[in-house]
Structure 1
Amino acid sequence: MELIDSHCHLDFPEFTPVDQLWQQCRQQHITNIIIPATEAKHWPRIQTLCKQYKGCYWSAGLHPWWVEHQSYLELQTALEQALEDPHCVAIGECGLDGSKGISDLHTQVLCWQLEQARDRHMPLILHAHKAHQALLPLLKAYQPLTGVVHGFHGSLELAHRYIRLGFLIGIGGGITYPRAQKTRSMVSQLSLDHMVLETDAPSMPLYGHQGKANSPLALADINQCLADIRSESVEDIANITSANSRRLFGLDLCDNRA
């Protein structure tokens, strides 16, 4: 059985030092972790982690929470060099967040990253919170694209709109909450071929762990919860979602190259 965490901020200070945690991940069959960057100034630490821990890869991008003119200039200057790193497998975390406000600069920064992903044939890691109506037309305008909609909590119909635009659906700890009926219903019906697993650690703690820092070790519990909801085996859930992550991020090629 193999588990892949498609979205974990392993570079955040909550995980320092990483050695013991990484050993525990491997013991729980977590073979790979994708570390999405939030802004360019943090890329060197992420690159160091990926060189140190075999199975860790990263995504270079600018998160909508940290969009400003200076961070945009840093992104534009540094991205080409970042994509030469064999451990860099995607562009992002990028997107829109309606709860924080969507300015013209937010849209400009996102569109630049969408253009880069399309032209370089790179998958995207998308942040899409309370912004679907603004985000979906942009994704349609920059086709063809591939990637994952991280931390998805929407309906089955909304999931299919993203899937038609080339995206997989990131499933995380939100499904462990009994009140998340819409999301749990969606994952019970959506084909596993369209899902990847994620923790978003240290954010998005599982039900019963509210207020605590999340961990990539929670991936096994997310996998178990999804298996319970779908009445399928944990092995099938793990292996199919991991194969989806491997295919999306080209991890088999990266393992041979890194």
Structure 2
Amino acid sequence: MRFIDSHCHLDFSEFDEDRARCIANARSLGVTHLVVPGISLAQSNNLLTFTKQYPSTYISAGLHPYFLEQHQEQHIDELGDLIAANHDSFVAVGECGLDRSIGELEKQRSLFEAQIALANEFELPLIVHHRQSHDLIAASFKRCPPKFGGVIHAFSGSSQVGETYIKAGFKLGVGGTITYARAQKTQQALQHVGIEHLLLETDAPSMPLCGYQGQRNTTERIPNVFLALAALLQRQDYEALSEQLYLNCLAFLRK
């Protein structure tokens, strides 16, 4: 079986001491590639060096709402310049999105919709972060419709919400959330979604799986996420299922 971790932050300092080992261990488990999102202008720029050092990584460029205080108005134009100058290096725009837990929603909205516009301009998919914000994202999509789809990172929500994203051309990121009993709504939603619309992810070092709370999450746990999804979908044809998920990610990445 082969896998792609469609969302992890292996460039974060949590991996400074053993990054190469983590990537090698993941590869030994069938994880051939990793997608590392951008979170700020400076970090998106740094990812250009990172992906040369670790060729199994794909990178994107974006302004994450968690780091709102770092983002300046001119960063959108500079992000566009960065993508234009390195278009072959970036596979997506993001991680971008809307998060009600942070505040300054108007600034978030402006940055998010500007990044949708960049994705449309450069014909790239989006990596979308959400937290208590499906309604806000829907409103932004109505004002500034994304033309090239993308992925809803760490999807959680109802079947109806999931189908709305799929109709807009998005795939749904499936991570450690599904391993928790409390995630019944999301589990039920994924059971009603076609497998062709799903991607595997870890969000390492965040989003630990059930049983690993308080520990650093790593991309080595992609097979654990896969087995949890297979059990949820009552699928025992592991080879066929893993291959479909792999091809889904290649389609998202246009590889």
TM-score over 0.5 for the pair = yes
Aligned mates of 1:4, 1:23 — CA distance in 2:
14
Shift of 1:102: 4.2
Q: Which amino acid aligns with 1:15?
A: F
Aligned mates of 1:69, 1:35 — CA distance in 2:
19
Tell me which residue corresponds to 1:12: 12
Contact 1:62 1:72 in 2 (8 A): no
* 1:218 partner SS: helix
Tell me which residue corresponds to 2:234: 231
Aligned mates of 1:117, 1:178 — CA distance in 2:
36
Q: Which amino acid aligns with 2:242?
A: A
* Equivalent of 2:119 in 98, 101, 117: 117
Contact 1:33 1:57 in 2 (8 A): yes
Aligned mates of 1:104, 1:202 — CA distance in 2:
29
CA displacement, residues 189-247 of structure 1 (integer Å, 9 cap, x when unaligned): 21111111110000000001111110001110000010111111232232111111101
Q: Which amino acid aligns with 2:254?
A: G
Tell me which residue corresponds to 2:68: 67
Contact 1:173 1:205 in 2 (8 A): yes
Q: How many residues align?
A: 251
Structure 1 residues 52 and 135, CA, compared in 2 at 3 Å: closer, same or farther?
same
Contact 2:8 2:201 in 1 (8 A): yes
Tell me which residue corresponds to 1:163: 166
* Residues 1-258 of structure 1 aligned to structure 2 (within 5 Å): 1-16=1-16, 17-68=18-69, 70-83=71-84, 84-143=86-145, 144-232=147-235, 233-251=237-255
* 1:235 partner SS: helix
TM-score scaled by structure 2? Answer: 0.93
Structure 1 residues 105 and 240, CA, compared in 2 at 3 Å: closer, same or farther?
same
Root mean square deviation, CA, Å: 1.5
Aligned mates of 2:251, 2:81 — CA distance in 1:
23
Aligned mates of 1:225, 1:69 — CA distance in 2:
36
Aligned mates of 1:243, 1:80 — CA distance in 2:
31
Shift of 1:31: 0.8
Contact 2:61 2:79 in 1 (8 A): no
The unaligned stretches of length 5 or more in structure 2 are none
Aligned mates of 2:197, 2:105 — CA distance in 1:
31
Tell me which residue corresponds to 1:254: none
The unaligned stretches of length 5 or more in structure 1 are 252-258
Contact 1:5 1:33 in 2 (8 A): yes
Identity across aligned pairs (percent)? 34
Aligned mates of 1:10, 1:135 — CA distance in 2:
27
